[in-house]
Structure 1
Amino acid sequence: MNDALDSKTSGRGAPDEGAVKPGSALFSMCLALTLVTASMSSPYLALPDLAADLNASTASLTWIVDGYVLALAGLVLPLGALGDRIGRRTMLIAGTVVLGASAFAAAESSGTTALITWRAVMGVGAAMIMPGTLSTITAVLPDAQRQKGVAAWAACAAVGMVLGMLATGVLLRWFTWRSVFVSGGVAALGVGLAAAFLAPETKSEHRRRFDVGGAVCTALAPAGLVYALIEGNDAGWGRPVVLVAMAVTVVAGAAYVVLGMRTEDPLLDPRLFRNQGFRAGAVALTVQFMAVFGFFFVGLQYLQLVLAYSPLKSALALVPVAVVVAVVSEVAPRLAVRAGMRTVLIGGLGLLGAGLLTLSFIDIDSGYLPFLGSLVLAGPGIGLTGVVGTSAITGSLPRDQQGVASAMNDVTREAGAAIGIALTGSLFAGHYRSSLPDLSRLPEPAAEVVRHSPVGGLEVAGRIGPQGALLATSVKEALMKGMSVALASVAAVIAVAACLLVRTPQRPAPPD
């Protein structure tokens, strides 16, 4: 699927060796991936400002973050397949235009509905960009360099998230949250130009019929699940619309399997999951991204609302874990060769789960050092799982199926992120509200603001005089309760995933 390369216009055969500079192509693709992941994480540090400026509830904040990720998760497979047909670089550059234009539009949003909508359109642009990054890298790089290229790609996926938050922290020191989206639009323009000048055009050699049924199913299944998780907690699990969303998830998932078994050229053949290496990589990456993005949603609120860190200081507080991830990502391929894929994946998930579980025990008086210790414990797990999980998928398939491998890497990451944000956001919001003290002494509008979100609760506490200090402490304690339950639940999911990998072989089976 990925062998047909041409650095100019056609998709027939490999390009002339002198025409393709693998280093330049790798740089431009890693830059594009960094844009995608930075755009995913950049709103996190702006959530308190968004809550105050747009009067956004916790559910609305969840949708602002998850709208982008959900669009990306649902469309990455069909848009990746379309890119295989018309050219991956062409699709990527078009995606930078869509992402950039919608980012500029998001900066002009006057309410949460408009912002959620434009964030979703940004996700569409990201879904046009992301599939071509890994498939171009695996196609352009020589076999001897491909594993290093995959490791660099996986490292950029993790480091880009922290870079996005660092940029947000810097911008919010002098400007409003709108500047975050303006800078994202400018960055998208730069990425598009880099791809145009540095990356070759790549296409699939084989013209395949587009799998409409698979595209619909892979979009509906995660969308239904995320909607049910967010709205079920906010409005009630028994509401008909929530039950319908759950039913859509089940039906779409089952239909994907049935249609995929009957379709000659499915977007993602469900039979691939019989391959143990492929399946192990998919499980590990889904759970890893679920944990990382779930942590961002609740952990950054601890830094900003409990420790009273500025956005920039909060971003800098995460730099140590980014350094750990980058270093471990470099050694992960060698460690997998020595210790075995199964050992590294289970060990990586174990470290990640242990870090989040430890983090769930901190309280409002813990300070930064226990928080940092938990992150440093989780960091190696992120690096090991990300690189080895990616290699497990790409190494399980032959070279002409690397487009499928790339698509699977993309969809597992984004589906995991979307589910993680929805799950942790839902658990956090529910337990925050249930842990608040009796608010009957407050006027009902003020009490509703407190229930709305921790940001609202702290704003009310700052306006009610001597009783405000007691309310602020109660709000922070409720925040910590919600964070504790959310992170402990994610750690439990990680433990289950690690158990599922026990029978994974130490070495992936050689591709057919």
Structure 2
Amino acid sequence: MIKKTPFDQHKRQRRIILITVCIALMAVIASVSGLNVAQPKLAAEFNASQHTILWMINIYTISLAALLLPLGAVGDRLGRKPMLLAGLVIFGAASVMSGLTTSSIIMLAARLLSGIGAAMIMPVTLAVITSTFPNEERSKAIGVWTGVAGGGGILGMYLSAVLVDLANWRWLFALPILLAIVAIALTLRFIPDSREKTVHRFDIVGSLLSIIAMIGIVFTLHEAPGQGWDNPMALISLIIGIAAVFGFVLWELRQQEPLLDIRLFRKRGLSSGSVSLLTIFGVQAGIFVVLFPYFQGVLGWSGLRSTLAMMPMALLMMLASGLAPVAAARIGSRSTMAVGVIFGGVGAALMATLVSVDGGYLSVLPGMLAMGFGMGLTMTPSTEAIILALPIERQGVASALNDVTRELGTALGVALLGALVTAGYSNAIDRRLDQIPTGTAALAREGIANALIAAEGAGSQSAILIRIARESFVYGWQQAMWAGAGVMAILFVYILARGPRTVKANQVVNE
């Protein structure tokens, strides 16, 4: 019988710690996308407008993005284990509240609380890894974390779609509740506590400015595509957000112990890692936005089947995230990130050139696979570059910055690529509705889903209208995918110029 050494026991404990934080992270990620699959049922249940339903989804992501940085810093000071436990309790209780709600107002309040709990959980999960794992194991652990962060949303969406189809929309919250309970139990037993030792006061002004900045910018990105970029609320929100960003930068530069040391962005790792994650998650989120209408509107698939169709991309992304540390150790972080970006750009180009109305799933699958692999390969070294730029006692802030970058990128991608698809669809369909009755044509111009509804009452012209709508959507899709490929090409050049120089003994050279 082989006796386990203390090293083996410590390694096993670190493995359990990694499982624990990934379970907590999965609960947060699954809740970001889960509610999307139940929009029609929520509207019927609460007799709510589409605007209200979108707020039920967006209030979670806005509160999460806005509070990540200050709550990450609070976790550094008060202790990461207490912060993780408090966040899991708030998140779990809010998820129970969401599942039992009887009105839109209660649902909005519950989702707000869920976002607050998630903002307490998410930075701590990565900070626990960086403060617990030794250098030789940290890259692999971060690879697992980034795989869950990148692919977990699709997995959570698929499980949510299954629950909605087989049971009831209220069962959507069963998964986050279960994950929160398991994470609480494991955290109490296995997660060590760590905290920052400092004599300086907490940066309250910087925290408030960061919150205002994130709310202003993310609110605009969520609202402007639907309400119009000239909408007064969207414009005011954007102006406030940008002003708060400038105020935050000026304030932080004057502080002896800032919430986030802006000067650190001079380091290659922090700047290139942040730009990479912002871009990668932006393109990924934008692609997800157009994939679902393609599957449902062009191919005529159900929500469950559409979600299942995205699983190969998610699984390959998670696999590549695990392989990235091995690649980075051999060819360097910058080269690994660059190769990943090339795959991502090729994937977007493939989806732009191969997609068609008649091509079906196989016309988009090659691009999805290339995109998933490339993104997974880029995310891990980008994340590691960010967290290694800050000292170990500030890992909550480093992790929060990493998460803020992801959330902001997601909001940007949805807004910009979604707008390109909408504009492309409108331009293409406008030229082809001359023979369609005015009322039916007006409804068709609003989007492919509306066009399919209008086609039901179009009589003999139904098949023609469906074909026109689907071809117009594919045209808009192609514009968005070419834009995504262009953005990835720019990112590739940037990484070659400013990416982390190399990896030595699992340490990124950031200077």
Would the TM-score normalized by the shorter structure come out above 0.5? yes
> Is residue 289 of structure 1 aligned with residue 281 of structure 2?
yes
Checking the alignment, whether the CA contact within 8 Å between 1:58 and 1:429 is kept in structure 2 is no
Q: Give the 3 Å change call, closer, same or farther, for CA 447–118 of structure 1 in structure 2.
A: farther
> Is residue 347 of structure 1 aligned with residue 347 of structure 2?
no
Q: CA RMSD in A?
A: 3.2
Alignment deviations for residues 191-244 of structure 1 (CA, whole Å, 9 cap, x no partner): 333323332233222254222222223223333233334443433333333332
C-alpha distance in 2 between matches for 1:68 and 1:482: 29
* Distance apart, 1:391 and its partner CA: 1.6
Structural mapping, 1:144-223, within 5 Å: 144-223=136-215
* Distance apart, 1:258 and its partner CA: 0.6
Residue 451 of structure 2 corresponds to which residue in structure 1? Answer: 457
Counterpart of 2:380 in structure 1: which amino acid? V
Counterpart of 1:172 in structure 2: which amino acid? V
C-alpha distance in 2 between matches for 1:56 and 1:108: 17
3-state DSSP class of the match of 2:300? Answer: coil
C-alpha distance in 2 between matches for 1:315 and 1:436: 27
* Distance apart, 1:159 and its partner CA: 2.8
Equivalent residue in structure 2 for 1:38, among 30, 52, 55: 30
Residue 94 of structure 2 corresponds to which residue in structure 1? Answer: 102
* Distance apart, 1:474 and its partner CA: 3.1
Equivalent residue in structure 1 for 2:117, among 113, 120, 125: 125
Q: Give the 3 Å change call, closer, same or farther, for CA 268–150 of structure 1 in structure 2.
A: same
* Distance apart, 1:415 and its partner CA: 1.7
Counterpart of 2:142 in structure 1: which amino acid? V
Checking the alignment, whether the CA contact within 8 Å between 1:73 and 1:418 is kept in structure 2 is no
C-alpha distance in 1 between matches for 2:443 and 2:375: 36
Alignment deviations for residues 83-127 of structure 1 (CA, whole Å, 9 cap, x no partner): 222222222222223333333444466787775664444222211
Residue 249 of structure 2 corresponds to which residue in structure 1? Answer: 257
Counterpart of 1:383 in structure 2: which amino acid? G
Structural mapping, 1:331-346, within 5 Å: 331-346=323-338
Counterpart of 1:292 in structure 2: which amino acid? Q
Alignment deviations for residues 275-299 of structure 1 (CA, whole Å, 9 cap, x no partner): 1111111111111111222221221
C-alpha distance in 1 between matches for 2:474 and 2:101: 31
Q: Give the 3 Å change call, closer, same or farther, for CA 60–92 of structure 1 in structure 2.
A: same
* Greater mean deviation of Cα atoms: 450-459 or 130-139: 450-459
Counterpart of 2:229 in structure 1: which amino acid? W
Equivalent residue in structure 2 for 1:419, among 412, 420, 440: 412
* Distance apart, 1:48 and its partner CA: 6.1
Counterpart of 1:394 in structure 2: which amino acid? I
C-alpha distance in 2 between matches for 1:48 and 1:322: 25
Residue 359 of structure 1 corresponds to which residue in structure 2? Answer: 351
3-state DSSP class of the match of 1:309? Answer: coil
Residue 501 of structure 2 corresponds to which residue in structure 1? Answer: 506
Residue 363 of structure 2 corresponds to which residue in structure 1? Answer: 370
Counterpart of 2:454 in structure 1: which amino acid? V
Q: Give the 3 Å change call, closer, same or farther, for CA 402–74 of structure 1 in structure 2.
A: same
Q: Give the 3 Å change call, closer, same or farther, for CA 365–184 of structure 1 in structure 2.
A: same
Equivalent residue in structure 2 for 1:143, among 131, 135, 139: 135
Alignment deviations for residues 39-86 of structure 1 (CA, whole Å, 9 cap, x no partner): 223234445666787788887776554432222111101111122222
C-alpha distance in 2 between matches for 1:54 and 1:489: 38
C-alpha distance in 2 between matches for 1:442 and 1:196: 65
3-state DSSP class of the match of 1:201? Answer: coil
C-alpha distance in 2 between matches for 1:230 and 1:309: 26
Checking the alignment, whether the CA contact within 8 Å between 1:345 and 1:389 is kept in structure 2 is yes
Residue 77 of structure 1 corresponds to which residue in structure 2? Answer: 69
Residue 302 of structure 1 corresponds to which residue in structure 2? Answer: 294
Q: Give the 3 Å change call, closer, same or farther, for CA 308–93 of structure 1 in structure 2.
A: farther
Gaps in structure 1 of 5+ consecutive residues: 1-16
Residue 80 of structure 2 corresponds to which residue in structure 1? Answer: 88
Equivalent residue in structure 1 for 2:230, among 229, 235, 238: 238
* Distance apart, 1:388 and its partner CA: 0.9
Residue 407 of structure 1 corresponds to which residue in structure 2? Answer: 400
* Greater mean deviation of Cα atoms: 179-188 or 435-444: 435-444
Counterpart of 1:469 in structure 2: which amino acid? A
C-alpha distance in 2 between matches for 1:90 and 1:460: 54
Counterpart of 1:472 in structure 2: which amino acid? I
Checking the alignment, whether the CA contact within 8 Å between 1:396 and 1:511 is kept in structure 2 is yes
Checking the alignment, whether the CA contact within 8 Å between 1:99 and 1:124 is kept in structure 2 is yes
- TM-score of the pair, normalised by structure 1: 0.86
Q: Give the 3 Å change call, closer, same or farther, for CA 286–183 of structure 1 in structure 2.
A: same
3-state DSSP class of the match of 2:364? Answer: helix
> Is residue 488 of structure 1 aligned with residue 482 of structure 2?
yes
Residue 5 of structure 2 corresponds to which residue in structure 1? Answer: none
Q: Give the 3 Å change call, closer, same or farther, for CA 277–473 of structure 1 in structure 2.
A: same
* Distance apart, 1:265 and its partner CA: 1.9
C-alpha distance in 1 between matches for 2:349 and 2:103: 36
Structural mapping, 1:21-36, within 5 Å: 21-36=13-28
Q: Give the 3 Å change call, closer, same or farther, for CA 24–143 of structure 1 in structure 2.
A: same
3-state DSSP class of the match of 2:258? Answer: coil
C-alpha distance in 1 between matches for 2:140 and 2:352: 35
* Distance apart, 1:32 and its partner CA: 0.9
